[in-house]
Amino acid sequence: MANPLTPDVLVDPVELTRTLVDIESVSRHEQAIADHVEEVLRDAAHLSVDRLGNTVMARTDLGREQRVVLAGHLDTVPLNDNFPSTVVDDLIYGCGTSDMKSGVALALHLAATLPDPRYDLTYLFYEAEEIDSKYNGLHLVSESRPEWLLADFAVLLEPTYGVVEAGCQGTLRALVKTTGRRAHTARAWRGSNAIHAAGEVLQRLSDYRPRTVTIDGCTYREGLNAVKIAGGVAGNVVPDACVVEVNMRFAPDRTEKQALEHVHEVFEGFEVELTDSAPGALPGLTAAPAREFLTAVGAEPAAKLGWTDVARFAALGIPALNYGPGDPLLAHAQDEHVEIGKIRDGAATLHRWLGL
Ligand SMILES: [Zn+2]
């Protein structure tokens, strides 16, 4: 199949967004889009290109003092009667328009049209962000090609509606367990009811006052919530076990270990079992390329409350933030769309920042 990413398309980030949306790339089906992107990048004399699975990396080597990563995932969630794209006035509708082919389009447009950027640039177009993290292209790169990620600063072009969203909160899930003693409900006094004992766990959750933390001007709001509860043996048995699953979202000034210690403190006297956790990422807005980026955007940063792949860069000590034209509230929605004006604004901002 001829590559639809022609030179005419690459120079126009809006046309490029549409063209990328019209290459179907639901997670685990990124081969076609990765092939097209790789071919375009290999045609650019100023880039050296490598590939791992369906993740494509391209970089300049101009001997600049600083290196910046621009990254975006190529995959989308499953189609939902929203393929191919359609245009209505200033809006492009279609699966992946917001999350995040408009962001990928900005990076690919720059890769093709900016041979002489102010910093050395590494472009990462990666696979499988929307599914289990064991398939995530950035995760796979961090395991087997960590040198691809080395940089002074990274921008993920995930949808933020043109706002700089810095850092991200960490997340932790744990089981809080209560125990009791089984008995026939006709002689309940011989047992001890573990579901009733969970009342105290729920009370502590209701009474919990989460922290609000401001770091580098970004305000993070923590949360601790029950997300599931399980218990009970049969309709005539006093239950001897109950489990409340809790999810804590924590500001990036806490490590995973400190967050777990905090959960242990909140549920002192109960058994707490960690099931999984992922670290947050500090906003890292003090690095020189980050400060210059904020100047180019010309607006105050906001805190990222969800967990995103910026944490993978933070784990390597690389400050990273999210900035993209899509509206995050439309990600994964059936009527997903992106504003053409936001794509043009984003391209202008990145040219202002990265052009000489
Ligand atoms: Zn995304």
Of the residues 38, 129, 222, 292, which is catalytic? Answer: 129
**Cα separation of 267 and 203, whole Å?**
11
**Sign of torsion over alpha carbons 330, 245, 137, 114:** positive
Q: What element of type H or E holds 13?
A: helix 13-21
**Cα separation of 145 and 151, whole Å?**
13
Q: In one letter, which amino acid is 317?
A: G
Q: What angle do CA 241, 247, 253 make, to 5 degrees?
A: 135
Which residues partner with 150 through β-bridges? Answer: none
**From ligand 1's centre to the CA of 301, what distance in Å?**
19
**Cα separation of 109 and 111, whole Å?**
6
In this structure, are strands 165-166 and 302-303 parallel, antiparallel, or unpaired? Answer: parallel
Q: Is 129 a catalytic residue?
A: yes
Q: What angle do CA 323, 328, 333 make, to 5 degrees?
A: 145
Q: Is 24 a catalytic residue?
A: no
**From ligand 1's centre to the CA of 309, what distance in Å?**
9
**From ligand 1's centre to the CA of 154, what distance in Å?**
15
Per-residue model confidence as pLDDT tens for the chain (356 residues): 799 999 999 999 999 999 999 999 999 999 999 999 999 999 999 999 999 999 999 999 999 999 999 999 999 999 999 999 999 999 999 999 999 999 999 999 999 999 999 999 999 999 999 998 899 999 999 999 999 999 999 999 999 999 999 888 999 999 999 999 999 999 999 999 999 999 999 999 999 999 999 998 889 999 999 999 999 999 999 999 999 999 999 999 999 999 999 999 999 999 999 999 989 988 888 888 899 999 999 988 998 877 888 988 988 889 889 999 999 999 999 999 999 999 999 999 999 999 98
